[in-house]
Amino acid sequence: MARDKDPMTDAPKAADGKEKTTDQRIAKAIARAGLCSRREAERWIAEGRVVVNGARIESPALSVGPDDRVEVDGKPLPAPEPPRLWRYHKPRGLVTTARDERGRATVFDNLPERLPRVISVGRLDLNSEGLLLLTNDGELARRLELPSTGWIRRYRARVQGRAIDPDALARLADGITVDGVSYGPIRAAVETQQSSNAWLTIALQEGKNREVRRVLEHLGYPVNRLIRTAYGPFQLGHLAAGAVEEVSPRILREQLGAVKKVTPGTGGTAKAKPRPVKPGQGKRALGKKGPARPKTGAPGGTKGAPKRGANRRPG
């Protein structure tokens, strides 16, 4: 029997296993076309940038179907393509936004020209580096950002401090409130101590804005380097700084199907039902070689560096 929903799109499926063509909210339709996230689509609608059947709309409380004509900024809404996902090693010094009002270099300005229009799954701030997931599907990005997936975000953080208190780190497992903001459970441990700096491993599920930096600074350990090493089952591995590698559709489908089987807060990594995999294929797609162990200096090497000026902006 076919599953009720396609794990790639979360859309209803017919008896023959194909995705049904049904009406959907206008913001979701725009996100599925890969122009932006659903939240950003709602903002575009409020700004008067969306026209449906010749009429400009001001509210996202509208459903559209395959026979409706949708235009964004005067251009027809492109047909949604199959969802795709890429692992990207974000270098330091890039902002994760389509357009920066201060004129700083962005992630999307530095992607290879071969990539289609993509958006990011969550963000990494200017001085953070490591794994950033990219997708051509705004609705998929939204699904992967939700804490309900049960996926754990893992980091390595270099902090200032000669004597790190392991008990203070252990208490983070109960959550903490900093400046009125409540953060959920965080698992932190000392990896290595290097003179006046220490490397910590961090695992969390919510991923609020600048969460790792704010929590560790609150404990008296300012962060001077932060690397995301994993996002759920997808790992940074040995992906070179600036490089991009696509996750195979089969593995993406398996992992999205596994999302529904994970109970939030019970461990973190979604695991799909084992299937035969060609030698090296699954490990390469997921980045299973394990997180890189960079030295205390800046990431070195230019292998796999993207072309500048590609200007592949989402929206």
| Enzyme catalytic residues | 125
Q: Quick check: 69 and 76 in contact, CB under 8 A?
A: yes
- The interaxial angle of helices 138-145 and 249-259, nearest 10 deg, is 50
Q: Among all chains, which residue has been given the structure tokens 């790190």?
A: 164
| Interatomic CA distance for residues 255 and 269, integer angstroms | 10
Answer positive or negative: Cα dihedral of 229, 230, 231, 235: positive
Question: Which region holds residue 287: left if phi is over 0, alpha if psi is between -120 and 50, else beta?
Answer: left
Question: Token digits for 201?
Answer: 């491993």
Q: What is the maximal distance between C-alpha atoms in the chain?
A: 66
Q: What are phi and psi of 286, to 5 degrees?
A: -90, -10
